[in-house]
Amino acid sequence: MKIFYMNQGGAKTNVWGGISYSNYDILLLAESDQEKKDFSLDWYSKDSTPVMSVQTSANHRTRVIENIEDVDGTSRHVRPLVRFHIKGTNIRVYFFHLKSASEKAASEALKTAVEAEKADIKLGGNRKVLWIGDFNRADDEVLQELRPCDLLIAAGGVSKWPLDRVYATGSWGKGEVTAGKITQSTDNAHAGVAVELNI
């Protein structure tokens, strides 16, 4: 299974080049709710700006994801912090676009999600988790509370903060998940990231 993440941005200079969305099963798009060809729009942020969306390939005969919810209940001013399960697996995905202007607000939003995941673990949850999105200035040290925690990729950005990152927490087997940059935007050098699940 393949997931593609990108922050589409809004700048007129935002040039990505051609992207073969059809190569992917799930699209995680920050700053876009435009339904891509041959994909279904499973979730989008109706009440927040900039928008975010989760889309799945229409080529699948059954649903690919389930239980989509926004867990950012304490920091609505930040942005949605969406999580969902990949159907038929014990894999959960968190997808987000954290606030860029405030390191404190972005970090608190990420901490909210980590606390939600820790609460599930206490209830007996034993899942593999992916953290995918635009971290902006968030302090991601809080993810280390969910050991094992592996940074799969950190890319994008024109300052000291790599904006686009993917972490894997939980007990993943060797080679079960990989991530790599496949394209780059001229808008803040955002990276288009492919995540592959060998499940």
157 within 8 A of 188, measured Cβ to Cβ: yes
Does position 164 have pLDDT exceeding 70, yes or no?
yes
Instruction: Indicate the pLDDT class of residue 16, thresholds 50, 70 and 90.
Output: low
pLDDT one-digit tens code per residue, 88-112: 999 999 999 887 678 888 888 888 8
User: How many other CB atoms are there within 10 angstroms of residue 122's CB atom?
Assistant: 7
Domain boundaries, the chain: 2-197
2-197 topology per CATH = Deoxyribonuclease I; Chain A (3.60.10)
Q: How far apart are CA 161 and CA 139, in angstroms?
A: 10
Dihedral angle at the C-alpha atoms of 74, 109, 150, 168, nearest 10 degrees?
A: 50
Q: Which residue has the higher pLDDT, 19 or 192?
A: 192
Q: How far apart are CA 196 and CA 193, in angstroms?
A: 10
pTM: 0.91
Pairing outcome for strands 91-97 and 128-134: parallel
pLDDT for res 121 = 78
pLDDT for res 89 = 92
Q: How many helices (H) and strands (E) does the chain have?
A: 1, 12
